[in-house]
């Protein structure tokens, strides 16, 4: 699933490279299509960002 959504990729931590899941949020509309994508998500305040997008759908 991660590869299908394009969120599996190379990451780096303290100079060490490894493969992992890039922190991304997908908002899926009622029609089942991706309505919005948040990439490089920071947890602080993210829930509010998502709520705003969902309210506009």
What does the pLDDT profile of the chain (57 residues) look like in tens digits? 899 999 999 999 999 999 999 999 999 999 999 999 999 999 999 999 999 999 999
Question: Residue 33 — φ and ψ, nearest 5°?
Answer: -95, 155
- As a whole number of angstroms, the distance between CA 44 and CA 41 comes to 9
pLDDT of 42 reads 93
Distance, C-alpha 21 to centroid of its chain: 9
pTM over 0.85? The answer is no
């Amino acid at each position: 699933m991660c590869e299908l959504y394009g969120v599996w990729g190379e990451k780096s931590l303290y100079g060490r490279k490894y493969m992992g899941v890039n922190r991304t949020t997908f908002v899926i509309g009622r029609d089942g299509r991706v309505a919005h994508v948040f990439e490089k998500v920071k947890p602080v305040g993210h829930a509010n960002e998502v709520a705003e997008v969902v309210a506009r759908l």
